[in-house]
Structure 1
């Protein structure tokens, strides 16, 4: 090693010393493992490491997060939780009640979260008035993804109503395409069911059924209609759908083998990863009949109590980084979602994201903004599980009775309350 190299090495090491004195480790449990999601998570890791900390990645595959929650519960019970975990919706309250979450009030005050975030988002992130989680994004669940080239070949028209949706599906099927790309997993079945509920019940009826769990709404004629529509959808998916991951289903639409997919806006991350352009190579439409409604799913990281001061500092820096405009832009452009910051500049976002942000703000003002049941925002995991059981059993039984399914739905929810 010559003198210049030794000097450069010494200067380089010296520049790291101030950081090292305050550097901590932040272990993050998440399930961002598909192409676009992983790129987004890798960016967060890079930004945290640039602050001098060590990122310990704890990724557990599984789109719905069920596997990750099983691992987290095991770790928490043994007194060894990660610094941060992807927890959302009512589950944040459940972890808060256990006394395991730490507060982020200092960071929240410094960055003015109360004014940056919509109230609906801020309230979800708090336990007993304290911020205990940091929101990362806002996903819209009630989207329909379309391959316009496939539609043109089939002579189908992009639908705006349920009637038009089924008419398009008929044309796609007749032309030899998979009409609706789907993955037969409970959370995916639940997503389709939820979007149909928004379309048929409307935002108010949806809220009565799945947030307030009103028995009359759950067993009413409109809910029977929802199940009947779900049964009809079953006829347009292919025989290989069972167990298929959502991103594989998205690939069928991207590759021109299927015409449509009913999925939240994380599906856009797959189109982006494939180099496709919104508005040209694919179209995003509010699920037919649900215009004016916005079923939201918020990804968030809840922060667990840590005893090590340096690791606590790393945890706070993680929260700061997530709320910074730089991360909000890159993460959401890769994930398909929209930023949580109301002041975010959307000019660099694609047509789908700009439409989503516009609809989000309008729905927040009109009552159309409602928490997604299928994605853990509207009710407890017990209620969600009960709904999934009824919906998936119904979806997989061609002879099932829609009216009976509505009664079973109400009974299943009542049993876990």
Structure 2
């Protein structure tokens, strides 16, 4: 996936546990640019400034992180890697193989990360047993966000199953309310698709298809039914969806222009920024048919090798700051997620976050905790890109469900 450049260190450098007192600059590449996300980043910047470090923001909007990854590759190949970058899931392993990530075991051991992180989270942050990244939070992706007043005006009820969703959408449409807010961008199409796939096929099918890339599941009759459901869902999306950013779609639900939106709990950051209250101004419910399951998206910062001692010190400060209980709490309160640490109290969090934390534990016990492929947690970047392309093509053409199932099975084999 990546190009190697002379001068890029092949092995990560371990950070010393005995950190010098001087500090330096941290440059963080990320795509947290919406209102709620920007508030979350400001919390991290504030924490770093308190440690005496300077902050250099490298924010790149759009593409669900694809634009940021393109910029990161250019920086690393040119020998100018940032201090840290927002990288997730299997991509951490891909960068680890390139020898560009820093070993931060010393910081992790001092902070007892293995004890305060769920094993599934800790494993993702490691490359060959060594910590090379730090988790920021945990997002639940399979949410449906609802404007309750819109449902009330339409005489619709909160959907629990996919059939319920179609019934509610029909009533909203009849009442002159846009049933579904959506942004016609590839990553948003994939986000919508994976929740529908989970709702139609269930946890076992989802795992086989998108985590194990089982060819039978990918091309079989259940996948055809998933695309048939997607074909029907397309009819509830407005013609202005093409290119719309996700937060603008969320604004449609906030303002009552649309009744529902399939997206992760980062949407809650937008509701919070708009001073809306859960249970009153908006509802957060599991995507139809997915109750009991939890598709996760873990935001994380991968640490890149730094040759300068001051830069290594600042990098260690950054890792410590991100994992501090105070920051984990503050960041998720702003962003709508839940902390990655299991020991952060949920007393300050709202009902949606508490439900997310409870459902995480429930799904873990039921073997229904699943990686979000739309958010780069389940498969290689090459396979994820190819699968997302098929979904996007389906959403923007007259491709049949049968043909889409055939193409997605082929796409998943991309290496």
TM-score, shorter chain, exceeding 0.5: yes
Residue 402 of structure 2 corresponds to which residue in structure 1? 403
Alignment check: 8 A CA contact 1:247 1:267 kept? yes
- In the superposition, the TM-score normalised over structure 2's length comes to 0.94
Structure 1 stretches lacking a partner, 5+ long: 1-18
Alignment check: 8 A CA contact 1:252 1:258 kept? yes
- How is 1:140-219 mapped onto 2 (pairs within 5 angstroms)? 140-219=140-219
Q: Does 1:346 align with 2:378?
A: no
After superposition, give the CA deviation of every residue in 1:129-159 in whole Å (9 maximum; x if it has no partner). Answer: 0000000000001000000011111111000
* Secondary structure in 2 matching 1:22: coil
Residue 134 of structure 1 corresponds to which residue in structure 2? 134
Aligned mates of 2:82, 2:325 — CA distance in 1: 25
Distance 1:259 1:62, change over 3 A: same
Alignment check: 8 A CA contact 1:140 1:265 kept? yes
Residue 374 of structure 2 corresponds to which residue in structure 1? 374
How far off is 1:365 after superposition? Answer: 2.0
* Secondary structure in 1 matching 2:240: coil
Moved >4 Å (runs of 4+):
none
Aligned mates of 2:218, 2:93 — CA distance in 1: 25
* Secondary structure in 1 matching 2:64: coil
* Secondary structure in 2 matching 1:65: helix
* Secondary structure in 2 matching 1:99: coil
How far off is 1:400 after superposition? Answer: 2.2
Larger-Rg structure: 1
Residue 82 of structure 1 corresponds to which residue in structure 2? 82
Residue 41 of structure 1 corresponds to which residue in structure 2? 41
Residue 7 of structure 2 corresponds to which residue in structure 1? none
- How is 1:15-414 mapped onto 2 (pairs within 5 angstroms)? 22-62=22-62, 64-397=64-397, 399-414=398-413
Aligned mates of 2:316, 2:322 — CA distance in 1: 10
Residue 3 of structure 2 corresponds to which residue in structure 1? none
Alignment check: 8 A CA contact 2:191 2:374 kept? yes
Cα RMSD (Å) of the superposition?
1.1
Alignment check: 8 A CA contact 1:20 1:52 kept? no
Aligned mates of 2:384, 2:297 — CA distance in 1: 14
How far off is 1:201 after superposition? Answer: 1.5
Alignment check: 8 A CA contact 1:186 1:392 kept? yes
How far off is 1:63 after superposition? Answer: 5.2
Aligned mates of 1:330, 1:78 — CA distance in 2: 35
Moved more, 290-299 or 400-409: 400-409
* Secondary structure in 2 matching 1:322: helix
